[in-house]
Amino acid sequence: MDEAGRTFAMSHGVSGRARPARRGALRWRSRTVRGLLLQVFVVALLALAVWYLAANTLENMRVRGIQSGFDFLRTPAGFDIGESLIPYDALQPYWKAFLVGLLNTLRVAALGIVLATAVGTLIGIGRFSRNALVRGLCYAYVEFFRNVPVLLQLLMWYLILTDMLPPLSEAISLGGLFYLSNNGFKFPIPVWEAGHGFALLGLLAGAVAAWGYRRCAIHRFEATGRARSTVLAPVAIALAGAALGWALGGAPTAFSVPQIDGFLVSGGATATPEFLAVLIGLVFYTAAFIAEVVRAGIGSVPHGQLEAAASLGLTRAQLLRLVILPQALRVIVPPLTSQYLNLTKNSSLAVAIGYPDVVSIANTSINQTGRAVECIAIIMAVYLSTSLATAAFMNWYNRRVAIRER
């Protein structure tokens, strides 16, 4: 550019160099746009394939005279369910039957996750015990239960509960309140009154207060190094809130106690052999894998951390609670999520011993209505939604316990 041209460009604010593209602008040749277009194309292709398969399946079913659709969910089911958390009878519609099966599945999964976590954690910690007998028993437990197929374990527990226990007329009594027989486990339950609602509200308020106390205790420990109880004290606060609500609600103490008269049982509640077999089998099987996850997490903590904690005079309980577990959780939580998902999906094997979960309800519905595609779709939706919810919660918890550098 000659001198006149440069003078003209400077006077009009025009530079001789090309202006750089704005950082936030999208151009057709940019990698971001190409990647976005490729993703849109793939999603559209998958949607087209799903639509084609669905349309082709529905057309083939129509040609063969096979009914389709979810309208059957509003018709009476016509079959009873032996175990239900909500009122149900054979005149209720199919959607109510599926709801009963869903609640039964969630009951096994939720209780199984809690119990398997407790048992697996104890077994995993026991692998590091100084007592050789304890270490050997924990090792034998893991090797036995994780190498036997879970279906065989369910059948084993079901046979034990139904064949080896005495009949109902000769049930094993525990203090006249609990009864164990081949008909299940009978136990007393409180008679619901307004005071129990106040107790639940008090428990909720106590849980909020315990959460606040725990956060303050952690901040105080980080600031001063003075440790406060972050487990027992929060639990005590939550229980105190429940007790206060129970007292304000009139302190109801009425219980429905099971009474056995020959082959008849009145009062109380019952855990059926099918439910117990599924729960025990899934807990013992999954706990063996959780124990190995816990062992690997504890083993990942550098030995220098243990020596440093011992030099400070920490007890073994404080060492485990304040040093080992906080660092081991970042290794434990991701594979622990997989074990929770496996337990939830393995609960579908309960159909083998007659437990009325969602798979059992779907099988009965298929036999009566012939809506196989719809019932299988319901099963898939149930397990997909529960698995995604479990994974989302565990991912949130994993972010909470992750160690962040300052």
Give pLDDT tens digits for 6-51. 554 555 555 545 455 455 455 666 778 878 888 999 999 999 998 8
Q: What is the mean pLDDT of residues 231-237?
A: 86
Q: How many CA atoms lie within 13 A of 138 on its CB side?
A: 23
Tell me if 297 sits within 8 A of 339, measured CB to CB: no
* Longest Cα–Cα distance in the chain: 115
CA-to-CA separations, 67 to 52, 70, 94, 96, in angstroms, rounded: 19, 10, 16, 21
pLDDT in tens, 270-293: 889 999 999 999 999 999 999 999
- 147-151, 215-219, 242-246, 386-390: which has the minimum mean pLDDT? 215-219
What was the pLDDT predicted at 28?
Answer: 65
Nearest to residue 364, comparing CAs of 103, 140, 90, 122? 90
What H or E segment, with its residue span, contains residue 187? Answer: strand 184-187
Q: Which two tokens stand for residue 85?
A: 């958390």
Q: Is a pLDDT exceeding 80 seen at residue 87?
A: yes
Amino acid letter for position 32: T
Which range among 299-303, 352-356, 391-395 shows the weakest confidence by mean pLDDT?
A: 299-303
Which stretch, 53-57, 184-188, 301-305, has highest mean pLDDT? 184-188
Contacts of 15 (CB under 8 A, 6+ apart): 9
Q: Decide: pTM greater than 0.85.
A: no
Structure token digits, residue 207: 């849980």
In CATH, the number for domain 94-165+272-401 is 1.10.3720.10
Cβ–Cβ under 8 Å, residues 166 and 362? no
Residue 338's pLDDT band (boundaries 50, 70, 90)?
Answer: very high
Q: Is the dihedral angle over the CA atoms 104, 106, 109, 111 positive or is it negative?
A: negative
Starting at the earlier edge strand, list the strands of the sheet with 269-271: 172-174, 178-181, 184-187, 269-271
Q: Which residues are CB-contacts of 150 (< 8 A; sequence separation ≥ 6)?
A: 281, 282, 285, 346, 349
Give the angle 357-376-348 at the CA atoms, nearest 5°.
Answer: 30
Residues 113, 114, 119, 125, CA torsion sign: positive
Residue at token pair 């009325």: 356
Please check the confidence at residue 243 and state whether its pLDDT lies above 60. yes
Mean pLDDT of 326-350: 90
Query: Counting beta carbons within 10 angstroms of the beta carbon of residue 111, is it exposed (0 to 12), middle (13 to 18) or buried (19 or more)?
Result: middle
Q: Is the pLDDT of residue 193 over 80?
A: yes
Beta bridge partners, 185, equal: 180, 271
Residue with tokens 């099987």: 285
Residue where the block lists tokens 């692998």 = 127
Mean pLDDT for the chain?
A: 85
Which of 179, 177, 188, 355 minimizes the C-alpha distance to 280?
Answer: 355
Q: Residues 206-219: pLDDT tens digits?
A: 999 988 988 888 88
Q: What is the pLDDT of residues 90-120, one digit of tens each?
A: 899 999 999 999 999 999 999 999 999 999 9
